[in-house]
Structures are given as C-alpha cells and as structure tokens.
Amino acid sequence: MTELMRLKPGHKKTAARVFARAFFDYPMITSYFPDLSRRSRYIEWYWGCVINYGLRYGEVYQTPDTAGISIWLPPGQTFNTTWHYIMAGFLPLPFVFGIKQYPANIRSDDLVIKIHQEIMPGPHWYLWAIAVDPDRQGQGLGRTLMQPGLEKADAQNLPCYLETHAEKDIPFYNGSGFYVVRIEQVPDSDLRFWCMRRDARSS
C-alpha cells in the first residue's frame, strides 16, 4: 500500500496543479469559472488557496510523489468561516471569479455550508477535497488518501461527511462506507450536489 505523508510546504504548487488537472471539468469548477480562459488562468490559484486553508485549519496528506492529495477538516474546524478564507488567501476571490459571477458562486457556497450544518450539527470529520492526477487514477490512490481521516474518525467514534458535485463519484465513496443522505439543487443553476455521510465506528 502507498505510504502517505503530510503535505510538505514545498509541494504546494505541485499539489495545486494536481487539483487543477483533476478538477478542471468538475461541475462545481465549471460553474464557478464558466469562462474557459478565466478557468485556465485561475484554477491553480484557487486550489492553492484551498490547500492553504487545509494546512492552516486541517490536515493535508500527499502520496510521496504528490500524485494524490486529500484535505480533511477535523472536529471544530468543519465549517468554513470568512476570516479563515481570508487567512488562506481568498481575499481576491471576487476579482478571480469576476464581479458578475461572484454573487452566484457565493450563494452556491452558502447553500453548501447551510446544508452541511443541517445534516452534521455535531462533531465530525469533513473530507473537504481529494484529488488524484488523471494519469494516476484507477490505481487505488484515492481510497488510500481517505484513510487518515477515516482512521481518526473511527478512533474517536465520530462520523464523517463530504459533498460531491459529480454523481459518477458516488460509488467510489460508497466503497469507503459513505452513503447519500441528501441531494440538493443550487437555485437558478443546473448544479447539483450529493451530501454523503459515513457513520461513526468504534476503533
């Protein structure tokens, strides 16, 4: 089995490129960046901020070659705050998304956070993001990258939670014990997301 390590600060740029490649056509990203040129220009910056957030307030894991990365947020840090976003480098986001696109993206994010709070009001582990470089997918790296958070949740007898905007990914998460608890449609949008939970398991 592939050994994992905490993401090294010197590997952040490589990790952001992996996320950009893995998520370039992901429904949430195409909704955020409908303009292809803007997406190409800013997607690595966006994921770099996500990684910064994970390093500050959560746990970020990588494969030794940085072909895969996962970001877990622990109990007490599972609900993103504006201040935390700013500290992670997201302050220029209105200009990155575009002034016209920004309000719709924020409404979408607010809905995701609202539903998350409704479904998981108590302590839990949150799988915020996971990516495997497209050239390395199908080799079991994704499942390995989920293990650190799952093991810590099991040790604490706590549930886990995630959202996916891609229905095709549901069987992958099913394989690690997650199941769909709610499906939401973003208003005035074709964007949907599936809310998934993994129940607490004693270690």
What pTM, to 2 d.p., does this model score?
0.95
Q: How many distinct structural domains can be found in the chain? A: 1
Tell me if 79 is assigned to some domain: yes
- β-pairing verdict for 59-62 and 5-6: antiparallel
Tell me if 203 is assigned to some domain: no
Q: Which domain holds residue 103?
A: 5-198
* CA-based nearest residue to 62, from 20, 26, 18: 18
| Tens digits of pLDDT across the chain (203 residues) | 678 999 988 999 999 999 999 999 999 999 999 999 999 999 999 999 999 999 999 999 999 999 999 999 999 999 988 899 999 999 999 999 999 999 999 999 999 999 999 999 999 999 999 999 999 999 999 999 999 999 999 999 999 999 999 999 999 999 999 999 999 999 989 999 999 999 998 65
Got the DSSP string for 47-74?
HHHHHHHHHHHSEEEE-TTSSEEEEEE-
Classify the phi-psi angles of 4: left when phi > 0, otherwise alpha if psi is within -120 to 50, otherwise beta: beta
- β-pairing verdict for 179-185 and 192-198: antiparallel
Would you state the pLDDT for residue 3? 87
Return phi, psi of residue 194, to 5°. Answer: -110, 125
Cα–Cα separations (whole angstroms), residue 100 to 40, 44, 45, 68, 103: 18, 21, 19, 33, 7
Cα–Cα separations (whole angstroms), residue 125 to 60, 189, 195: 13, 29, 14
Tell me if 145 is assigned to some domain: yes
Q: Are 196 and 179 in contact (CB under 8 A)?
A: yes
Strand 192-198's sheet: what is its strand order? 5-6, 59-62, 68-73, 125-132, 160-164, 192-198, 179-185
Give kind and range of the element (H or E) at residue 195: strand 192-198
CATH number of the domain to which 29 belongs: 3.40.630.30
Alpha-helical runs (H) found in 4-101 = 12-23, 27-32, 36-57, 82-87, 93-97
Tell me if 125 is assigned to some domain: yes
Would you state the pLDDT for residue 202? 67
